[in-house]
């Protein structure tokens, strides 16, 4: 799985951080920052949950 | 279960479809949407789309490839006109009908009209065509009167100021948004708008819209404030809230008082579910029925509905969340602000602060003003597991 985020459209909801803090964190403005763009398989469900929860379609996943 | 029909093709509808696939539903999904465009995100309508910072492609709800992966059949520009729960079918405006094994109602809300002004050519803001019309009018006239100082009204005020327009906002409440943000933050927000040059008049209702007939049709001339004063403007936006789109469900037997009434699982009836702005459901933790018109809830509730359709049997007990952006300021609130809740200042900087809301010693709400990251630890401590007694 490869994860990408578009910080330009991020509205800093933090939904991704709450769903999967191992992969998604926030910068000082609250905008998403990726911890890793290739998360291990044990995190894949949480990453999909984060993508679904994001209210701005910031996260893209390539499976 | 072979077919799930989702009525409503915007945030909640699309998210339900995607979640069904994520939970391994491999039957048919049919999405019926009354708008002609493929789903776009509504928050940018009052901000980036209105001022032209974004083109419309950027505001699509999902990239086309992601939509395609869902493998749903779309019936766009199609209105559902009736529901027959005993036959498990819905009727469509073109005379057709659709049978379902499970039905998801996600028909959202529409803008409320000012009483007695339904025929006046005022603006509302809910759809992409609304946004295109409003943006063109603001640019043409450089003048805007907004009726209603709620989140949408004020976000548009900020955007219109950015476009260099003269903006007046009329609001009947003397302290608008205090019940949503707490007194302190509501005051700060109103001050922010006044500092930006918005003529913001609270405690002023609107009793009429003045209209004249011209060779190009009826045009708005201005508004008559309660009390008689006239504020002239060829562009008037009415932003006084929304009403749920449940008219098509009349006669279906569903509870339609303020949205579609649902139980704790977001179930409205046998094989019938509701999600998003239109859904009123019982929040088991807070012990009350809620209908949340915030963007964040659409995805969360859609996921809950999809899971429950697939047998999860989990009550939907979210921590409500919303954001609203004005000028350079980002405001976010997680949890609830209940009347009578104690409000505390958690931390404050030059242009950033966090406030917390407490009831019976429990943290029930956290607000951040330019503090998205700073409020996160408190967000994790929010307690939505017990009723908040007013």
C-alpha distances in angstroms, B13 versus B182, B215, B358? Answer: 32, 42, 34
The Cα B333–Cα B367 span in angstroms is 4
Nearest CA in chain A to B381: A18
Write out pLDDT tens, residues B60-102. Answer: 999 999 999 999 999 999 999 999 999 999 999 999 999 999 9
Q: Using 50, 70 and 90 to split pLDDT, how confident is the model at B258?
A: very high
State which fold the B3-110+243-309 domain adopts.
Answer: FAD/NAD(P)-binding domain (3.50.50)
A14·B376 Cβ contact <8 A: yes
Min CA distance, A43 vs chain B (Å)? 15
**Residue B328 predicted with pLDDT over 90:** yes
Q: Are B33 and B105 in contact (CB under 8 A)?
A: no
Write out pLDDT tens, residues B165-175. Answer: 999 999 999 99
Does this model's pTM top 0.95? My answer is yes
If 0-12 CB within 10 Å is exposed, 13-18 middle and 19+ buried, where does residue B195 land?
exposed
| Mean pLDDT, range B211-215, rounded to an integer | 91
A12·B296 Cβ contact <8 A: no
Per-domain boundaries in chain B = 3-110+243-309, 128-240, 328-379
The pLDDT of residue B390? 59
A52·B22 Cβ contact <8 A: yes
Read off φ and ψ for residue B311, nearest 5 degrees. 100, 10
The pLDDT of residue B116? 72
B344: how many CB neighbours lie within 10 A of its CB?
Answer: 11
| Mean pLDDT, range B49-56, rounded to an integer | 96
Q: Which residues contact B120 (CB under 8 A, 6 or more apart)?
A: B209, B211, B218, B220, B236
Strands B206-214 and B97-99: unpaired
B296·A15 Cβ contact <8 A: yes
Q: Number of A:B CB contacts under 8 A?
A: 64
B295·A54 Cβ contact <8 A: no
Q: What CATH superfamily is the domain B128-240?
A: FAD/NAD(P)-binding domain (3.50.50.60)
DSSP string, B264-275: TTSEEETTEEE-
| Mean pLDDT, range B25-50, rounded to an integer | 95
The answer to whether the B3-110+243-309 and B128-240 domains have the same CATH topology is: yes
Q: Which domains does chain A have, with CATH numbers?
A: 2-62 (3.30.70.20)
The Cα B255–Cα B346 span in angstroms is 41
Q: Which residues contact B288 (CB under 8 A, 6 or more apart)?
A: B282, B387
If 0-12 CB within 10 Å is exposed, 13-18 middle and 19+ buried, where does residue B99 land?
middle
For CA atoms B314, B41, B269, B94, the dihedral sign is negative
Q: Find the Cα–Cα–Cα–Cα dihedral B232, B132, B62, B238, rounded to 10°.
A: 20
* pLDDT > 90 in chain B, percent: 93
Q: Find the Cα–Cα–Cα–Cα dihedral A7, A10, A16, A21, rounded to 10°.
A: 40
The pLDDT of residue B339? 84
Q: Are A10 and A16 in contact (CB under 8 A)?
A: no
User: ipTM strictly over 0.85?
Assistant: yes
Closest CA to B147 of B228, B207, B195: B207
Task: Give A 31-50 residues with CB within 8 A of chain B.
Answer: 31, 48-49
A55·B298 Cβ contact <8 A: yes
B372·A30 Cβ contact <8 A: yes
**B66 vs A contacts (CB less than 8 Å):** 57, 60
Task: Give B 305-334 residues with CB within 8 A of chain A.
Answer: 321, 323, 325, 330, 332
Question: Helix A44-53 vs helix B295-309: angle between axes, to the nearest 10 degrees?
Answer: 130
B340: how many CB neighbours lie within 10 A of its CB?
Answer: 8
Write out pLDDT tens, residues A36-45. Answer: 999 999 999 9
For residue B295, give the nearest of A14, A26, A55 by CB distance. A55
**Residue B5 predicted with pLDDT over 90:** yes
Q: Is B296 left (phi over 0), alpha (psi -120 to 50) or beta?
A: alpha
B59: how many CB neighbours lie within 10 A of its CB?
Answer: 22
Closest CA to B143 of B133, B157, B153, B125: B157
Nearest CA in chain B to A58: B62
Interface membership of B303 toward A (CB under 8 Å): yes
Task: Give B 48-77 residues with CB within 8 A of chain A.
Answer: 58, 60-63, 66
């Amino acid at each position: 799985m490869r994860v990408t985020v578009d910080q330009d459209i991020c509205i800093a909801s933090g939904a991704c951080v709450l769903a999967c803090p191992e992969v998604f964190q926030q910068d000082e403005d609250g905008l998403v920052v990726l911890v890793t763009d290739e998360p291990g398989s044990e995190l894949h469900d949480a990453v999909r949950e984060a993508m679904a929860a994001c209210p701005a379609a910031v996260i893209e996943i390539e499976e | 279960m072979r077919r799930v029909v989702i009525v409503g093709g915007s945030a909640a509808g699309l998210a339900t479809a995607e979640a069904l696939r994520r939970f391994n539903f491999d039957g048919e999904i049919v999405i019926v949407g009354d708008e002609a465009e493929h789903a776009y995100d509504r928050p940018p309508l009052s901000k980036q789309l209105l001022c032209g910072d974004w083109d419309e492609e950027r505001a699509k709800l999902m990239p086309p490839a992601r939509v395609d992966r869902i493998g749903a059949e779309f019936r766009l520009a199609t209105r559902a006109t009736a529901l027959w729960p005993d036959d498990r079918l819905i009727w469509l405006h073109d005379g057709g009908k659709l049978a379902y094994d499970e039905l998801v109602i996600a028909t959202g809300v529409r803008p409320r009209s000012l009483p007695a002004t339904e025929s006046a050519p005022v603006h509302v803001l809910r759809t992409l065509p609304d946004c295109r019309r409003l943006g063109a009018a603001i640019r043409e006239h450089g003048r805007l009167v907004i009726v209603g100082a709620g989140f949408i009204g004020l976000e548009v005020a900020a955007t219109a100021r950015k476009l260099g327009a003269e903006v007046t906002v009329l609001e009947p409440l003397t302290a608008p948004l205090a019940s949503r943000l707490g007194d302190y933050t509501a005051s700060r927000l109103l001050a922010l708008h006044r500092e930006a040059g918005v003529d913001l008049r609270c405690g002023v209702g609107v009793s009429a819209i003045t209209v004249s007939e011209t060779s190009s049709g009826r045009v708005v001339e201005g508004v008559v404030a309660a009390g008689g004063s006239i504020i002239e403007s060829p562009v008037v936006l009415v932003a006084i809230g929304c009403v749920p789109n449940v008219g098509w469900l009349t006669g279906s037997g569903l509870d339609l008082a303020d949205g579609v009434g649902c139980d704790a699982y977001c179930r409205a009836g046998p094989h019938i579910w509701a999600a998003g702005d239109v859904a009123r459901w019982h929040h088991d933790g807070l012990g009350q029925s809620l209908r949340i018109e915030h963007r964040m809830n659409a995805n969360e509730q859609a996921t809950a509905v999809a899971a429950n359709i697939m047998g999860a049997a989990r009550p939907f007990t979210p921590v409500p969340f919303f954001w609203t952006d004005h000028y350079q300021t980002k405001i976010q609130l997680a949890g609830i602000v209940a009347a009578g809740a104690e409000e505390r200042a958690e931390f404050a900087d030059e242009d950033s602060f966090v406030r917390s809301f407490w009831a019976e010693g429990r943290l029930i709400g956290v607000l951040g003003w330019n503090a998205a990251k700073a409020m996160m630890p408190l967000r994790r401590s929010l307690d939505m597991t017990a009723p908040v007694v007013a």
